[in-house]
Every structure is written in structure tokens, then in C-alpha cells.
Amino acid sequence: MNLILELFFTFLKIGLFSIGGGYATLPLIQQQAVVVHPWLTLQEFTDIITLSQMTPGPLAVNTSTFVGMRLAGMAGAIAATGGCVLCGILISLGLQRFFRRNGDQKAVLHLLETLKSASVGLIAASAATIVLIALFGVSSWKQPLQFNGTALILFALSLAAIVKGKLGPVPLLILSALAGCFLYL
């Protein structure tokens, strides 16, 4: 029972301090689950990350679920996942209500518009990283690029399918997965 509570509060802390997208939670989880607590080895943690990226669902949720399950079964998974998402959910709901209630005030509107722009900028930065990973096999522009021509073709075709063919996200994912099997096996 102690471990479950510890898991919950640790992930609560992790969830609270990770702003800015799924990948932001990872360094914090690593710090807590490998360094601060003797829960996982670095290799086990890395394996979990790999698995989290392979399975559906948001990265932070998967990672929390997997770590929790590894340590304390289903109860651990629930505690870790719940802790991780709780603060974000409460703060999001709070902010939404704040902006709705005070939306007529200039300062509030300005703040929201500012956050909207900044948020798109951040997503753009993530998009660039995702493109780097998919087409060049690295996660930072500072690393030597390894160009993947097949990926570029698939990327271009996907883009065309989305823009010209009006293909939805889910059909696109299914098709690109199939294309992956066709091209990479």
C-alpha cells in the first residue's frame, strides 16, 4: 500500500512540473524512477520509453502506466497514471474557466491570444523535431543527419494525401503503417 501511495505522489509531482508536451515528462520520470527512487534501472526505463512510443496513447500516459505496472501491478499503474494526469487536468479546467469568465477583460484576452501564438510556436518546434526523427534519424539539429529517402517519399505522399486527398488522421495512420510494412520489411 505504501508503494502505491508513493507512486501516486511521485507521479503527481512529475505531472505538476512537466509543462510543454509529452516529451517534457520523460526527464522528470527518469529522475524520479531511476535516480531518486530505486525503482528502475536505466535500461529498464529506456525499454519502457521505447515501448511507450510503440503503443497507442499519449507518451506521458503510457510511460506512467508502464512504470506503475512494472512496480506494483494494476494498482500501481492506476496510481502512477492518475497522479501524472491529475494536476494537468485540474489546471486545464481551471484555466478554461478563468478565460471564459474573464474573457471580456482586455488583459485576459491578450494573455490568451499570446498563449495561443506561443503554443503554436511550441508545437511547430515539436513538429520540426518529429520531422527530424522521421526523415533524418536524429532528434536534434545539432546531431549528424542520416537522411532516409524512403521516409521522405512516405512523408511527401502522406502530406499530399492529407492536403489534396482530404484523408483523415486515422485512415492516414493505418495506410502509413501498411506502407511501412510494405517498404521496410
Hey, which residues between 118 and 177 contact another protein (CB under 8 A)? 118-131, 133-135, 140-141, 151-152, 154-156, 158-159, 161-163, 168-170, 172-173, 175-177
Query: From the CB of 177, what's the least distance to another protein, in Å?
Result: 4
**Site stretch for another protein (CB under 8 A), options 2-10, 30-38, 73-81:** 73-81
**Site stretch for another protein (CB under 8 A), options 2-10, 34-42, 93-101:** 93-101
How far apart are alpha carbons 11 and 80 in whole angstroms? 5
Q: Which one, 113 or 145, has the nearer CB to another protein? A: 113
In 3D space, the residue among 61, 69, 55, 78 whose CA is nearest the CA of residue 26 turns out to be 61
N-terminal to C-terminal alpha carbon distance within the chain: 46
How far apart are alpha carbons 14 and 87 in whole angstroms? 9
Q: Does 57 bind another protein (CB under 8 A)?
A: yes
Q: Could you give the dihedral angle defined by the CA atoms of residues 16, 19, 25 and 29, in that order, rounded to the nearest 10 degrees?
A: -40
